[in-house]
Structures are given as C-alpha cells and as structure tokens.
C-alpha cells in the first residue's frame, strides 16, 4: 500500500479520509488496463499532487476516486467505511471532483451557485450570498460578478465560478483534474489561491488531490507527489522525495 512516510496524524477514528483498495479500470473492448489496480490513501491534512504524461490515466484515476465511472475491481472506503450505493451521493458531496473544463448551466453566475441547493443532497443547506461574494472578492472579482451571464464568461472566470460553486458546499476533499490547464496565468493563480485558502481554513480536516502537468505548479500545490505512467500509480516521493520534487 502506498503511504507517505511522513503522514500527518490520522483522522479521529484512525482511518484515512479516502482509501482505495486495488481500484482498477479496464477498456473491455480493447482489453487494455486504463488503471492498473491501485492502492491509495488520502489522509486529512494532505495535499497530494499527481503528475504524468497525458493519456497516462490521471483523469481515469481521479474519476474513479470520485466514483464517477464504474470500477472494474477494487473498492473505495470513506472514513474506513465502504461507499455503498446509498451513500454514493453523500460521498460525492464531500469528496468533490472538479473537472478541467468547467460545465456551467445557462443563466447567470448566481443561478449556478444556487443550483446545488436544488439537489436533494443539500436540502438542509441554504445558499449564502455573502459568503460567495467574499470568495469572489478573494479571487479578485467584483460584486456584480454574480449577475453576469455564464455565456459571457472567459474560461478562467468560468473555472472560478465552478470552484466557488464547490467550495461554498464545504467539501472535505477536493479532487482537482487539471483545473488550470487551459487558463490564463492570472486565473490560474486565483484558482490556486482559492484552494489554498479553503485548505488552510481547516487543514487538519481537509485534503486535496491535484492533477497537474506543470512542475512549478505541482511543487506549489502539493507536498506529496504521485505519478501515473501507463495506468500505473506510483509514489516516487517515498523513495526519493527531493529528487522528484526537483524534476
């Protein structure tokens, strides 16, 4: 099992936030492994970063972690408990996956921020306009940003909206699938800052897995380094942390 040698203290009940046991994905038609059986544990307080060539299976792994695709083997545990069919929606609410290309609904920014509260999983929560305004402030967006139509947003602005939409819901962990890969540098910095702020607010309870192909970003957003090559997840940091980080 891949475990970081300097893991922070485990969660109250001793279990990792998210733990996978030999999760695997296969392309049945071509008979290829998309993801070889992978063991991985994400503990509260960890900032993991996953790098690797494009097409190596980074997204496949992250989507598997978010339970978005059917697994061809293995299991995911959440606080030590298996994620059953009944808990899967609950799980996704807390272990939030953010895709590379943001998908916003028609309408304005506020419509998009309110959308999660229309879902059954959030029926006991309420939209907090002041809080989202503060988040947009932190990202350098003015207060009239909420009324902007999503069709007029740049790619960077759309990704900031998608990120704020997730952060306002207080997830435990963020699974970030190259969220800044197609953004301008300014937006990319805003996204990194939002994630860092969110993490620092409760760093003993939160965690991130950040997929990145930018080594500079990788060293900024993660302390624990994983790699993906041809569907094989490895953690070279366990062997030579400084050499990997310098690459």
Partner 1 sequence: MSPGVLQNLGIGDVAIAALLVFVNGAVSVLLKLDLERKLAWAAVRTVVQLLAIGYVLGWVFAFNRWYVVLPLMALMTLIAGFAGAQRGARTYGGQRADSIVSIWVSAWLVAAVGLFVVIRIRPWYEPQYAIPILGMILGNTLTGVSLGVERMMQELTARRDRVESALALGATRWEAAQASAREAVRAGMIPTLNQMAVVGVVSLPGMMTGQVLAGQSPLQAVRYQIVIMFLIACSSALGTVGAVLLAYRRLFSPEHRFLVARLVERKARG
Q: Which is nearer to partner 1, 89 or 151 (CB)?
A: 89
- Output the smallest distance, CB 174 to partner 1, in A: 11
Instruction: In whole angstroms, give the CA distance from residue 94 to residue 89.
Output: 9
Residues that bind partner 1 (CB under 8 A): 66-70, 85, 88-90, 92-93, 96-99, 101-105, 115-116, 119-122, 162, 165-166, 169
> Of the candidates 13, 7, 22, which has an alpha carbon nearest to the alpha carbon of residue 78?
13
Q: Which is nearer to partner 1, 97 or 145 (CB)?
A: 97
Distance in Å, CB of 132 to partner 1, minimum: 15
Nearer residue to partner 1 within complex by CB, 85 or 242:
85
Query: What dihedral angle (degrees, nearest 10) is formed by the CA atoms of 214, 220, 226, 227?
Result: 10
C-beta separation of 43 from 89 below 8 A = no
Q: Least separation, in Å, of the C-beta of 109 and partner 1?
A: 15
Helix axes 155-167, 129-138, angle to 10 degrees: 130
Q: Which C-beta is closer to partner 1: that of 69 or that of 152?
A: 69
Q: Which is nearer to partner 1, 169 or 223 (CB)?
A: 169
Pick 105 or 134: Cβ nearer partner 1: 105
The neighbouring-strand residues paired with 174 are: 96, 208
User: Nearest approach, Cβ of 204 to partner 1 (angstroms)?
Assistant: 24
In the complex, minimum distance from the CB of residue 151 to partner 1, in angstroms, rounded to a whole number? 14
Distance CA 91, CA 82 (A): 10
What's the closest the beta carbon of residue 45 comes to partner 1, in angstroms? 23
For residues 95 and 175, the answer to whether their CB atoms sit within 8 Å is yes
CB of 126 to partner 1, least distance (A): 16
For partner 1, give the closer residue by CB, 49 or 65: 65
Residue 223 burial class via C-beta count within 10 angstroms: exposed 0-12, middle 13-18, buried 19 and up: middle
DSSP 112-148: HHHGGGGSGGGTT----HHHHHHHHHHTT--GGGGGS
Look-up: residue for tokens 């996704």? Answer: 92
């Amino acid at each position: 099992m891949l475990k970081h040698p300097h893991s922070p203290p485990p969660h109250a009940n001793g279990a990792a936030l998210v733990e996978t046991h030999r999760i695997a994905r296969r392309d049945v038609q071509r008979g290829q492994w998309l993801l070889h059986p992978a063991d991985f544990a994400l503990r509260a307080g960890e900032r993991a970063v996953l790098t690797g060539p494009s097409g190596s299976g980074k997204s496949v792994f992250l989507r598997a972690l978010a339970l978005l695709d059917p697994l061809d083997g293995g299991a995911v545990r959440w606080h030590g408990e298996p994620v059953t069919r009944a808990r899967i929606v609950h799980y996704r609410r807390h272990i939030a996956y953010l895709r590379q290309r943001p998908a916003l609904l028609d309408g304005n920014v506020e419509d998009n921020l309110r959308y999660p509260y229309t879902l059954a999983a959030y029926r006991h929560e309420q939209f907090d306009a002041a809080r989202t305004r503060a988040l947009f402030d932190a990202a350098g967006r003015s207060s009239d940003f909420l009324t902007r139509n999503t069709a007029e947003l740049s790619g960077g602005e759309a990704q900031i909206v998608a990120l704020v939409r997730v952060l306002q819901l207080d997830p435990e962990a963020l699974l970030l699938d190259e969220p800044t890969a197609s953004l301008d540098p300014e937006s990319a910095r805003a996204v990194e800052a939002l994630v860092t702020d969110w993490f620092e607010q409760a760093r003993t309870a939160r965690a991130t897995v950040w997929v990145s192909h930018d080594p500079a970003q990788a060293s900024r957003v993660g302390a624990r380094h994983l790699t993906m090559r041809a569907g094989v997840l490895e953690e070279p940091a366990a062997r030579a942390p400084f050499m990997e980080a310098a690459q």
